Amino acid sequence: MTSRVLCLSTDESFASRISAPLEYSYPQVSVLTVPDVAAGVEVLEGERVDAVVTDAATIAESPALLEAVRERRPELSLLVLSTYEDDGRRRTAVSEVVDFLEDVGTDAGDEALAGWVANSVVDDGRSSGPPGGENLEGVVNAIKRDLVDARRPGDVEAAVCEQLILEEDVEFAWIGEFDRGEGQVVPWGTAARGGDWPRSRTFPAGEGIDAVVANALRSRAPVVVDDIETHASTVPWRAVATERGCQALIVAPLQTDDELFGVLGVFTTDPDGLSLPQREAFVDVADTTARVLEGMAIRGRIDQQERTLRRYERLVETVGDGMYALDDGGHFMTVNDALCEMTGYAREGLLGEHLELILETEGRNAWEAVVDDLTGVGGDSRSLELTVVRKDGTRFPCENKVGLLPSGEDGSFMGTVGVLRDVTERKRRERKLQRQNDRLDAFASIVSHDLRNPLSVAQGYLEMLEESEADEATVGEVQQSLDRMNEMIDDVLALAREGETAAETAPVPLPSAVQDAWSNVDTRDAELTVSLDQSVLADEGRLLRLLENLFRNAVQHGGSDVALEVGPLEAPAEGFVGFFVEDDGPGMPPNVREHVFESDFTTAEDGHGIGLWVVSEIADAHDWEAAATVGRDGGARFEFAGVEQAH
């Protein structure tokens, strides 16, 4: 990390004389220059600075400002350059300002100076300044000041570890994060005075481990090691520490009342070990660091909650359904744009109002019953249908899903949340479908009663004609017409009563279905070949009707002695994909194949065209692809692909 030196001087050339050789010879140092002393004080208040360099002339001209520097940043090294002549040689003395005293030369001022000197004389040598390191109290104060502005782990590393190694005898400082899931401490912030230190390792901290780090976390108390080399428990980096001359170590937990974040470790080379003031200072730094980390964690959780809240807010505002939250009295606390648009009210017109503003009495009673059910019996949510009244008095049907807000600390009811979905279109479709079903039921009734009754009468008269000497050709025509009418009625009833979608499918063996359908049809002298053995998932009743209609169509158009084959339809890469029904009759011209599945298309003068339309409808109901093509012998071939095989 680059160190920053601020040059304060009333001499414009002073900064350039200092900065050029300093930055050239020491690239890890950068020099900041300012136009005047006042600007320099502003820099000290707003930016990171590691030392200040000035000259005696500036001290004389701006003592108040430089005194302010010392008061605001007492930990900074304030170096003063004084130039003088000695035996014809120009020399510069470098001194450090450690304090500003008032009234020196008077009794009171001289007494204060004497006390300052006396304290310096009896000091333990730890306050000698930058050539030998910062004094401990100054380092701790500097750490605390820098931690105030820390916003990320890198700031903590710079504020704590890099500042601690400024203290004399501190060789290495590190911060480790406690990973509870892995039972490990992972170093993430380190600084070493003597160059590189092997840092890419972790330390076990689980139960039953006799190690300095584990003991500090387990006891939640600092652990001090006075002799690293001979300490009984496992010491982190023991070999490296002894090679670097480290004598003592302190590992202090980074903890608050609520959380344990990890540890702070400090290695020192002092042969006398850690003094009590040092221990207290390092523990003080650990406590401050823990509070800063707790603040970061809290800010991180708050940021995460805010991001989550913003996502939910975007979701609530972009969803097409109306969403709301009501207090325990049923008054709107929150509404989204969709609800405002649905009801015609502005947000301000809904907030604070009771839910009854947009509900009829019957709907309000139903809603209250649902809420009572949720608060009494419990459950996540309930759904009910309501009629919502818009601001202009118009009404529309809604589906309302209601849930409870989390209870208060005493378990009290706090209110509800809900989603309103406009179901006007769904209701319209339901009514349309109901009308269609009603018409189909009526149609089925007409066909089954109004047509089947006279059909029965005609069949009765036909039997009487057969017993008489009536013309046999006439009797045959009547029988043929009646048969066609009966087939038509069966086909229409099948569609009218069963609808357009397939019922539940089940495995159906195709060979047996083909034989059953063949036996249900008057095939005269026709021949059938079955060359498949697969089972398929199908509605068996509808599959039989499909096959019956195909067989009738083949006999009708191919003749009484037509030959038919039902075989597997296969694709090169997929194997079985369906089946085909093929005959050796005259086949179908292209213009016929294009329209063969239409309900009103027929090539026969006396045909009704419904049979193959029914085939197409049944195939569609199963999601099969029906196609009419040319058979191998030129006859008609019907293929059904997309058929799911049953295993």
Does the pLDDT of residue 4 top 70, yes or no? yes
Q: What is the mean pLDDT of residues 64-83?
A: 77
In sequence order, which residues have a C-beta less than 8 Å from that of residue 601 and are 6 or more positions away?
595, 609, 613
Long-range contacts at 619-626 (CB < 8 A, ≥ 24 apart) = 619/546, 620/500, 621/500, 621/501, 621/502, 621/539, 621/542, 622/502, 622/505, 622/538, 622/539, 622/542, 624/578, 625/578, 626/597
Give the 3-state secondary structure of residue 289: helix
- Which amino acid appears at position 182 of this protein? E
- Cα–Cα distance, 167 to 619 (Å, whole number): 88
Q: What is the mean pLDDT of residues 169-192?
A: 89
CATH 3.30.450.20 domain extents, the chain: 319-422
Give 476's pLDDT tier (boundaries 50, 70, 90). Answer: low
Would you state the torsion angle of the CA atoms of residues 29, 35, 37, 43, taken in this order, to the nearest 10 degrees?
-50
Share of the chain above pLDDT 90, in %: 33
- Cα–Cα distance, 546 to 419 (Å, whole number): 46
Does the pLDDT of residue 127 top 70, yes or no? no
Phi, psi of 192, deg, nearest 5? -130, 135
- Which amino acid appears at position 50 of this protein? D
**In 507-527, which positions are buried (b, 16+ CB within 10 angstroms) versus exposed (e)?**
ebebeebbeebbeebebeebe
Does the pLDDT of residue 45 top 90, yes or no? no
Give 449's pLDDT tier (boundaries 50, 70, 90). Answer: low
Among 137-146, 335-344, 413-422, 440-449, the minimum mean pLDDT is found in 440-449
Higher-scoring residue by pLDDT: 500, 441: 441
Q: What is the pLDDT of residues 360-399, one digit of tens each?
A: 888 899 999 999 888 877 667 889 999 999 999 999 999 9
Helix (H), strand (E) at residue 508: strand 506-509
Phi, psi of 636, deg, nearest 5? -80, 140
Among 205-214, 279-288, 332-341, 479-488, the minimum mean pLDDT is found in 479-488
Q: What is the mean pLDDT of residues 242-262?
A: 92
Does the pLDDT of residue 557 top 60, yes or no? yes
- Which amino acid appears at position 510 of this protein? L
Which CATH number, 3.40.50.300, 3.40.50.1970, 3.40.50.2300, 2.60.120.260, labels domain 3-122?
Answer: 3.40.50.2300
- Upper half-sphere CA count for residue 287 (Cβ side, 13 Å): 10
CATH 3.30.450.40 domain extents, the chain: 136-299
Q: What is the mean pLDDT of residues 87-93?
A: 80
Does the pLDDT of residue 331 top 90, yes or no? yes
- Cα–Cα distance, 221 to 218 (Å, whole number): 8
The confidence score (pLDDT) of residue 435 equals 60
pTM: 0.40
Tokens read off for 93: 């003395």
Quote the mean pLDDT of the chain: 82
Q: What is the mean pLDDT of residues 41-66?
A: 81
Number of H helices, E strands in the chain: 20, 24
The confidence score (pLDDT) of residue 128 equals 40
- Cα–Cα distance, 127 to 167 (Å, whole number): 10
The confidence score (pLDDT) of residue 108 equals 65
- Cα–Cα distance, 342 to 180 (Å, whole number): 51
- Cα–Cα distance, 538 to 342 (Å, whole number): 45
The confidence score (pLDDT) of residue 35 equals 75
Share of the chain above pLDDT 70, in %: 81
Q: What is the pLDDT of residues 573-626, one digit of tens each?
A: 889 999 999 999 999 998 888 888 875 566 554 444 567 878 887 888 888 999
Of the spans 56-60, 305-309, 634-638, which averages the highest pLDDT? Answer: 634-638
The confidence score (pLDDT) of residue 212 equals 94
Phi, psi of 587, deg, nearest 5? 80, -175
Topology at the third CATH level for domain 502-647: Heat Shock Protein 90 (3.30.565)
Higher-scoring residue by pLDDT: 72, 239: 239
- Cα–Cα distance, 425 to 416 (Å, whole number): 27
Phi, psi of 222, deg, nearest 5? -60, 145
Strands 563-571 and 527-530: parallel
- Cα–Cα distance, 528 to 627 (Å, whole number): 21
Tokens read off for 52: 């200040």
What CATH class does 319-422 carry?
Answer: alpha beta
DSSP string, 427-481: HHHHHHHHHHHHHHHHHHHIIIIIIHHHHHHHHHHHHHHHHTT--HHHHHHHHHH
Q: What is the mean pLDDT of residues 439-446?
A: 60
Q: What is the pLDDT of residues 262-282, one digit of tens each?
A: 999 999 999 888 988 899 999
CATH of domain 136-299: 3.30.450.40
Higher-scoring residue by pLDDT: 352, 36: 352
- Cα–Cα distance, 588 to 635 (Å, whole number): 7
Q: How far is CA 292 from CA 150, 174, 217, 286, 587, in A?
A: 8, 16, 18, 10, 89
Among 47-56, 85-94, 490-499, the minimum mean pLDDT is found in 490-499
CATH 3.30.565.10 domain extents, the chain: 502-647
Does the pLDDT of residue 134 top 70, yes or no? no
Instruction: Give the helix ranges, DSSP H, for 170-211.
Output: none
The confidence score (pLDDT) of residue 125 equals 43
